[in-house]
Amino acid sequence: MTENWHTGIVTKIVDETHNTRRFWIKIPDMEIFDFKPGQFVTLDLPIHEKKNKRWRSYSIASHPDGTNEIELVIVLLEGGAGTNYLFNEVKEGSELVLKGPLGVFVLPPTLDTDLFFICTGTGIAPFRAMTKYLMQHNIPHKDIHLIFGTRYESDLLYAAEMRQLEADFPGFHYIPTLSRQEAWTGRKGYVHQVYEEMLQDKRPANFYLCGWKAMIDEAKQRIQALGYDRKSIHQELYG
């Protein structure tokens, strides 16, 4: 073990949807687990002899709050060794070996353009961390648009909390977009139509993409086709 691996204790587990769970992990050997919103941790799970087959990385869903506890939100992948272990073996009180914080999927030092947070599934995790951090620290910002795509209303993660944030945090817009829900008064279809419509005015913007590779690849092409520079697009891939 090198010095950057830590033993975390699972303090709480909550089912968020039928196939996603929230895990709270405390890292007792650190007084404060300090990270930038958008960063991730890597877990070393006892599921294989080879190191690179044991490691699983997850964005931190909580914002830095001066404690040594973080929250992860994890979706159960069919046939996934890592998530099957986390869902079937890990209980409150279990130990998890982790390292972090890692990653450069973080906000720019000054927020002088609109931010488009575009995500699918558990890709909402880093954006929850970023939004709560911006609100708590009263950081000046332009409009923030969280466009969250999923199939059904029952798959929306943190829905009540996001609506509350929209009410409490000026300039934050929560746009859940469902591809398969019939009875739904909100946006229907896929995330791409939503931002393309909004960006007809070609306003200055920064884009943060998090979720499945297919969504990210398509979004990158479409955003650049609208005339935006590749440098304004930041991504965090899942799977």
- Establish whether 113 is an annotated binding residue: no
- Residues 189 and 150: their CA atoms lie apart, in Å, by 9
- Residue 122 phi/psi, 5-degree rounding, is -70, 0
- Establish whether 82 is an annotated binding residue: yes
Tell me if 25 sits within 8 A of 69, measured CB to CB: yes
CA–CA distance from 221 to each of 38, 68, 79, 196, 230 (Å)? 23, 39, 31, 12, 9
3-class DSSP state for residue 9?
Answer: strand
For residue 196, what are its two tokens? 């393309």
Question: Which pairs with CB-CB distance under 8 Å and at least 24 residues apart come from 184-187?
Answer: 184/153
Cβ atoms within 10 Å, residue 190: 16
DSSP letter for 189, please. Answer: S
Instruction: Using alpha carbons, select from 155, 197, 205 the residue that is nearest to residue 176.
Output: 155
Annotated binding site for FAD: 82-83
Binding region: 82-83
